[in-house]
Amino acid sequence: MQIETQFEVKRHDGTMESFTETDLRSKVQGGSLLFEIMDHSGDVKKIWDPSKSIEVDDARQSFENLTKNGYRAYRTNDKGDTGEQMKTFDAAAGRVVFVPQMQGG
């Protein structure tokens, strides 16, 4: 028996929706854009509809704010495996993972 994790995903309008990993993969394969942000509160997931210009504008703004504040963005495959680093926003990226820059000390 396989147990699938439920994720709370923030939508563009601020509402929360529950998805399984399979649901998220399906959404991304269907054309949605998914941001996964590793921050002090854990793993935050945000989903965007690239067919809605206001959501794309918000996704672009989120991308720019995060990367300006030291996060690195990585395009991933549908399993979430990290791929190439993204320097600029790409609305067709599918699934993007943001990780904070590591600080030495």
Q: Do 91 and 33 meet the contact criterion of CB atoms below 8 Å apart?
A: yes
Domain CATH code at residue 88:
3.10.20
Q: What is the pLDDT of residue 40?
A: 73
**11 found inside a domain:** yes
Q: What is the pLDDT of residue 66?
A: 93
| Global pTM value | 0.77
CA distance 29 to 87: 22
Q: What residue ranges of the chain have pLDDT lower than 70? A: 1-4, 78-82, 103-105
**33 found inside a domain:** yes
DSSP for residue 14: S
**55 found inside a domain:** yes
**Residue 78 belongs to domain spanning:** 6-100
**60 found inside a domain:** yes
**1 found inside a domain:** no
Looking at the DSSP assignment, which residues form a beta bridge with residue 96? 35, 75
Number of domains the chain is built from: 1
**105 found inside a domain:** no
